[in-house]
Structure 1
Amino acid sequence: MADGKTIKFQTTRFGELEVRGSSVITVINGVIGFPQSTRYTLLEYNPPFSWLQSVEHPELAFVVVNGAEFGDGYRFPVPFGDRDMELGENDDLAIVNLVSVRPDPTQTTVNLKAPLLVNLRNMKGKQIVLDDPKFPIRMPLWADDEKK
C-alpha cells in the first residue's frame, strides 16, 4: 500500500494507530519466525530505538535500531538486483536490526546477523542472513564500561 492514504489498525501496545499507507513496509516472507505477518510500520520510540509494528497482527512488534548506528564496521554486500525488493543500485536502502530486550537492560542485544533491508523507493523489505562470522546474532548493545 504505497500511497498517501491513511490506514487505521489496532495494536496491543499502542492502541489504535493511524499511519500513511506510504509508510507501510511489505516484508517479503515476513520477519524470520513470523512469516504470517508481512506488513509493518516503523514507530519512533526512544532514539536510537524504534518499534517495528505489524499492521496485521496487533500483538506483534519488535524493538529495532537503525543499522547505521553501528558505523563503518557494519558493512556487507548489498543485494542489488534482488527481485523481491526490486532493489536497484540507485535506490535508497534502510538497514534495520532487531533488538532483544532483556529484563536486565545491560543484557540487551542486537542481531547483526540478520538485518532487515528496506528499499525506500517502494517500501519493500526483506530480512537476510549474513554469512560473515563477524556479525553475531546477539551482540551486546553496551560495552562493559558503559554498563557501570
Structure 2
Amino acid sequence: MLTAVAHAIRMSPDMSETTPDAPMTPDTQMVLDTRFGRIAIDPDRAIEIPRGLVGLGGRGRFALAEVADERIDHLKILVSIDNPKVSMLVLPVPVKTDAIDAEDLDEALAHLGIARTNAAVLLVVASHRVEGGVLLTINRRAPILVDVEARRGWQHVLHNPKYPIRQPLIAG
C-alpha cells in the first residue's frame, strides 16, 4: 500500500507536464478514500469518462492525482470521483511517444474527435506479484486518451495487435 497521496493535478496538453491544481478552498475540496490513501480533489476539475474503463466499468468523473511514493512518483493515480474504489495507476506519456506509433495514435484521436494539440495519453499500469516483489506492467494496447480542453477521456483499444497488454515497466 502506498503512503498518503497529494492533491489532484491538472493535465497539460501533450502530458509533457502535469501541474498542481491551484489551491482548493474548503468549499470546493472533496476528499476521497481510495486504495492508495486519501486524495483531495476539486470535482469541478473532473475528467468525464463516459464509456468507462475496460474491465472496470467506472463510467463517470475521474481525477488525476500525484503519487506520494517517490519510488514511483513518475506514475499518477486516476480515481473515480463517483466510486473511489475504482482507481488505478497510470503512466502519462507525451503524444510524441515511442509507446504508440504516430499513425495508430492519430487514427485513434481522429476516431474520438480529439485534436492532437489537446490530447493527453495515459497508459494503465498493473501490478503483478512475482517472486521477490512486484512487477509493474503498462497496457500499450488500450491507452486512455483525454481531450484536456473538453475534460473528456476514453479508453481506446488500438486496432494494431502489435501493442502488448502487459509490457514490463522499467523505472527510469
Q: Do the structures match in fold with TM over 0.5?
A: yes
The TM-score with structure 2 as length reference comes to: 0.66
**SS at structure 2 position matched to 1:21:** helix
Q: Does 2:97 correspond to 1:97?
A: no
1:27 maps to 49
Distance of 1:35 and 1:9 partners within structure 2:
22
Aligned counterpart in structure 2 of residue 11 of structure 1, from 15, 33, 41? 33
2:150 maps to 122
Check the 8 A contact 2:65/2:77 in 1, yes or no. yes
2:8 maps to none
Check the 8 A contact 2:128/2:135 in 1, yes or no. yes
2:89 maps to 63
Distance of 1:101 and 1:69 partners within structure 2:
24
Distance of 2:151 and 2:84 partners within structure 1:
20
Q: What runs of 5+ residues in structure 2 fail to find an aligned partner?
A: 1-23
Distance of 1:70 and 1:88 partners within structure 2:
14
Q: Does 2:160 correspond to 1:111?
A: no
Distance of 1:106 and 1:15 partners within structure 2:
23
Distance of 1:142 and 1:72 partners within structure 2:
14
Distance of 2:165 and 2:88 partners within structure 1:
15
Aligned-residue offset at 1:19: 1.9
Q: Measured at CA, do residues 106 and 12 of structure 1 come closer, stay the same or move farther in structure 2, by a change above 3 Å?
A: closer
Q: Measured at CA, do residues 77 and 58 of structure 1 come closer, stay the same or move farther in structure 2, by a change above 3 Å?
A: closer
> What is the root-mean-square deviation in Å for CA atoms of aligned residues?
2.9
Q: Measured at CA, do residues 142 and 31 of structure 1 come closer, stay the same or move farther in structure 2, by a change above 3 Å?
A: same
Higher strand fraction: Structure 1 or Structure 2? 2
**SS at structure 1 position matched to 2:97:** helix
Q: Measured at CA, do residues 11 and 130 of structure 1 come closer, stay the same or move farther in structure 2, by a change above 3 Å?
A: same
Q: Which amino acid aligns with 2:115?
A: G
Check the 8 A contact 1:110/1:141 in 2, yes or no. yes
Identity %: 25
Distance of 1:16 and 1:111 partners within structure 2:
24
Q: Measured at CA, do residues 134 and 16 of structure 1 come closer, stay the same or move farther in structure 2, by a change above 3 Å?
A: closer
Q: Which moved more, 1:60-69 or 1:43-52?
A: 60-69
Q: What runs of 5+ residues in structure 1 fail to find an aligned partner?
A: none
Q: Deviations over 1:16-56 (max 9, x none)?
A: 6232512x110121111222432110001143101001101
